Chains A and B, each alone.
Chain A
Amino acid sequence: MRGNTLRGTALSPTDAGTSPRSRRAATVALEHVSKRFGDHVEDQPAVDDLDLFIPAGATCVLVGPSGCGKTTTLRMVNRLIEPSGGRILIDGEPIAGRDPTELRRGIGYVIQQVGLFPHQTIAENVEVVPRLLGWPAARRRERVEELLRLVGLDPARHLRRYPAELSGGERQRVGVARALAADPPLLLMDEPFGAVDPIVRARLQEELLRLQRELGKTILFVTHDIDEAILMGDLVAVMRQGGTLAQFAPPAELLAHPASDFVARFVGADRALKRLTLRRVGELAPAPVTIAVAGEPLGAARARGGPGAPGHLLLVDHEGRALGWVDARGLPDDRPADPTTARPPAPLLEAETTLRDALSILLDAAGSPGIVVDDTGRPTGLLTVEAITAALQDGNGPGGTGEDAPPPAGSRPTGG
């Protein structure tokens, strides 16, 4: 279920061992949950017979058109709204029997308008729940600083400021820090990035994914944006008007096999392209490339490439970083590889780049293959438009790449 690891990214090792990384996570189960506002039977229910199970540590996204009952569902989980029928269990325990305030102190909650207390400083805002829980002041202060750093804010700059002094993106970061303050095993997020501009939203999404890789919380995330759902979710619950569940599946499956016309229309005609956002360059085995280290005889590079080595060699410096392409056709073996004659090494693709972005970059590059580089900037091979479309055709989900050949060992540079 942990799609993030499937996307080929390892857990980040920062500050492991302190409390925010305790990786406490809860399971959430909704059993036949429904909600009807008003007493009339003829009223359409806001949520109708909803069944969901969210395993510990998964991010489940509720997505659907406006008014389909996403917010209502979310608010039933922390009992801001009481269900009209069915039951909700956290870690197997029905929440109906628990004291609502006590329950809520153990569930983080992030909303679009953030809801920071305007009369309190950022530090005071973040420590609301720890204060309610009676943590001593020293522990609270330590926790606040830790959390601000975690969400990418500088404690020295922000601790004593008031919410009105922050930008929309900064406020939303504080909202996330506040929700995480008491290390809750469950986080509810209702369109948390709905009010920030697209550039900030993209950054906050990436950071939440990073954070989630570190924290491994169970997250229930509401959005009306299918792209956000596919990006953020390990599981996506598509809801439709009247509060019914249209499909509940991992994003790849949703895109590959929409359960109904409604889901197909909702995810959009560009389903295939969207599937590419689920996969990253690093998941595909790059095609081999023959590498020449600057200054070495061309013959040495050709030998490494083996018989049938192409006429074009990828020139690298002594650190192994790409310098450019050299056209070695017709040149003698004893000629040294000359950086001054090289064409620029473009386009470069990082392992973290989504296949969708990679495709866009390659289409822009008019036929040049992409040079896949690792995080130190060293080439690991080549990626072409054809390789991506092949992955798309075979791919019924991330994992199967269809290119089982291991990267050729000889393609690694030896120098440097």
Chain B
Amino acid sequence: MDLLAQVLAWFANPGHWQGADGIPTRMLEHVEASGLSVAVAAALALPLGLAVGHTGRGAFLVGSIANLGRALPSFALLLMLIPIAVNLRLDFSTWPILGAMVLLAIPPMLTNAYAGMRAVDRDLVEAARGMGMSGLQVLVRLELPLAVPVLMTGIRLAAVQVVATYTLGAVAGGGGLGRYIYDGFATQDTARMVAGATLVALLAIATDVALGGLARLAAPRGLTVGRPRALPAGEPGTV
């Protein structure tokens, strides 16, 4: 319990709460980078996923991206982008990690946007068309509201994954809470390292909980969606 005391002492040290390496600054860096990455990825993935789900065309593409996203580790992606950034003479402590975060946030949002649309009962769509709704009206008034819960799940999964990935960015000299872990490791300052890991874990859990709550608020009333339970392998799904 020696370590616990050290970690608590680390948190209690007012010096750790201010300046460029202070907890608020690192936390803000982490949240900002994560939020930016999710926003960029959402702008790319959601329209594509919705379009594929609505038209039913391009499902193979969605499945392939999902599988690639699952098979390509975030750490590998980060390291792979570093030589490219170096070749392009970009700052390799910033761009590779942001690139990795955006790329990794795309598959979960893409597949869930698609899955959410496909999960809308085709009979309902038929009925809506039968009542004279146009394709766009069906999308906006029927499919989109019904797809919201699954879509939100995708955003949540992407956000949690992005928060985790940004932690790895410290390896390449990036900022955020990962710095505590990496620097603590390098200087054998276990308390700092564990404090950083704790902060990262809490941030990830908080992200998960917050976006879960947001999803519940965003879901149309009267729509109770059971949590997806079994994950089918080899198909675009919610991971």
Give yes or no for direct A-B contact (beta carbon below 8 Å): no
